[in-house]
Amino acid sequence: MTDAKRITISSKAYYKMMLHCMKHTSSDCFGFLIGNKENNSYTISDAVPLTHDKIFAPSLEVAVKMISMYMSNEGSIVGLYENLMCNQMKSDSMISPTGSYVCELINKMTKNMPVLLEVSSKDNTKDKVIEDEIFVKEYVYNDKGGFDYVEDRKESEEEYKEIGRYLKGFYQNDIVDFDEHLINTNLDWRNIFIK
């Protein structure tokens, strides 16, 4: 394959995605991926938890403007992550209509093909997550409005240990998604306590 795509995810982005999903174990979770794209390589440096509910156009628009303003030093919006409860019940993941819609919007905004990360685990309940394999299926939006599969990303041993440390400290309870910020603007959606 001559146009092979490569996605690199920083540990910080990975921790934010996972802790967001672990905070809301009974809800679908969505978040933006921040980073850079060069040719067919994507570098994801950060993640912004967006919602643990449905995505609504007005809050999405506000989130895009604020992220563009406050996170420009980390890059721009290069994609979306999602964790769908229905995917925890079966071996094959699927991309939601919401994920497809948001990736189409990112494509129109940036003129780049966005990344979609499908967060999956055998059991992501707070008690068992450390023992279960967690992985991320990586996709890139294509010019036909579909997605090209890239690969599965499994957490490193260091990430496995750090996620365990975060969970033991109940850090997942402190993760703030953008919807929570809109309800209480004192809550910081950047989650800068995650390194």
Global pTM reads 0.89
Strand partners, 31: 49, 81
Residue with tokens 């309870």: 173
User: CB of 17 within 8 A of CB of 31?
Assistant: yes
Rounded to an integer, what distance in angstroms lies between the CA atom of residue 107 and that of residue 81? Answer: 15
Ordered per-residue pLDDT tens for the chain, 195 residues: 447 889 999 999 999 999 999 999 889 999 999 999 999 999 999 999 999 988 888 888 899 999 988 888 889 999 999 998 766 555 566 788 999 999 999 999 888 899 999 998 644 444 544 444 567 999 999 999 999 999 998 888 899 899 999 999 999 999 999 999 999 999 999 999 998
Rounded to an integer, what distance in angstroms lies between the CA atom of residue 15 and that of residue 46? Answer: 9
CB under 8 Å to 134, separation ≥6 — which residues? 18, 119, 120, 121, 124, 154, 155, 163
